[in-house]
Amino acid sequence: MEVLCIPVGPLQANCYLVDDGHGTACILDPGGEPERLVRALEERELDLVQVLLTHGHFDHMAGTAQLAERTGARVGCSPYVKQMIEDPDRFLLFPGFEGIPGHTPEQLLEDGQQVPVGELIFTTVATPGHGPGDLTFAAGNALFCGDLLFYRSIGRTDFPGGDHATLLASVRRLSELFPPETVVYPGHMQPTTLGAEILSNPFLEGM
């Protein structure tokens, strides 16, 4: 499994292109610049079959509709996030980003559901807190957690549906499900490991 981080969109959110090593790919959180993502796929001669969305905030999904249209990839998200993907402008966090095209997801993913992508299996883990329907996707020794957990920080909980205690409970759940050496690929900033954050993240003190 090869993971390529491509910061996209006006907020330069982390989008991840994951290659199964046999020509099949998944993209997580295409927050913009779908043309750039298509070029990255073409340069690597990869077939994009799956788009996975950790949550529905515009900086993580704005390129979804055009990417799916260009590639034919299926889109998966939680049932709560479905409404956000279908009508992005209704859920904008900030003015000035209107006009994001909507898309009806082909898959509604529940906690524990497995999503095959070529030789890879992505396992869905419900991790609400930053938002009500947020998901983390586990594959190999990696977690793609959106805006749940960052390097020495955590996601905001002051947006609609956010809840600080719920977010901390979601991080605790990940620490119970996965070993400390598991690599965390967050929605912003650099990768880290689950164990390093449990030990050193000031927002998780006492966990």
Helix (H) / strand (E) containing 47: strand 47-52
The band of 206, judged by pLDDT with boundaries at 50, 70 and 90, is confident
Find the mean pLDDT for residues 141-159: 97
Q: 149: domain CATH number?
A: 3.60.15.10
Query: Which tokens is 140 given?
Result: 């190999």
- Is the whole model's pTM more than 0.85, yes or no? yes
When pLDDT is averaged across residues 55-81 and rounded to a whole number, the result is: 98
Assess whether pLDDT exceeds 90 at residue 36. Answer: yes
| Number of separate domains in the chain | 1
Q: What angle do CA 191, 27, 96 make, to 5 degrees?
A: 85
Condensed to tens digits (0 to 9), the pLDDT of residues 75-115 reads 999 999 999 999 999 998 888 889 999 999 999 999 999 99
Host domain of residue 160: 2-204
Q: Which pLDDT score, from 0 to 100, does residue 94 have?
A: 80
Q: Report CA torsion sign: 39, 40, 44, 47.
A: negative
| In the predicted structure, residue 207 carries a pLDDT above the cut 90 | no
Rounded Cα distance, 92 and 84, in Å: 9
